[in-house]
Amino acid sequence: MSDETKLLEPKEVTIKTLRGVDKTYVLSMFPAIAGREIVANYPLTAIPKASDYKANEETMLKLMGFVGVKLPNGNIQPLVTRALVDNHIPDYETLVKVEIAMMQYNTSFFGNGEISTFFVDFAKKTLASISPTLIPLLQRLSEAVKQHTKNSVPNTP
């Protein structure tokens, strides 16, 4: 069985690298459960200061396992490892372009190259649920700091 049969609905795309070279990649559809995991984790793990980079990297590597490159013998090699990604994608910018192309191919959440209101609404709901959790924690932390300050005795000579 060739690697091509493992990719669902393969589609070739050409992406311009940082150096201006056109590279061809084979995008594929996510299987249902892997797709759910990737689409659920991808935006959340990429939020600066609130995310876990390692979780985001794991999600990216899972996504890249559904991207392939055509080998000289005609077979398609899925980019299932970090080494394969690094060997076939020459720079960070190209990697991001491939990731965006995959998300566009696999979701209806992208329209005309822009993130739809789905992610805006999702972010609002997420922030709304975070505030009620963080405010009581910050209040308790603030009280603990105040108590510590009141109980401290200044050093006097």
Q: Is 39 exposed, middle or buried (0-12, 13-18, 19+ CB in 10 A)?
A: middle
Fold of 3-113: rbstp2171 (3.30.2220)
Q: What is the pTM of this model?
A: 0.65
Residue spans of alpha helices (H) in the chain: 32-45, 53-64, 82-88, 92-106, 117-151
Q: Name the residue ranges covered by the structural domains of the chain.
A: 3-113, 116-151
- How would you write 100-142 as a 3-class SS string? HHHHHHHCCCEECCEECHHHHHHHHHHHHHHHHHHHHHHHHHH
Residue by residue, pLDDT tens for the chain (157 residues) are 334 447 889 999 999 999 999 999 999 999 888 888 888 887 777 766 556 778 888 889 999 999 999 999 999 999 999 999 999 999 989 999 999 899 889 888 655 545 555 555 655 655 565 666 667 767 777 776 666 555 555 565 5
Q: Which two tokens stand for residue 150?
A: 């009141």
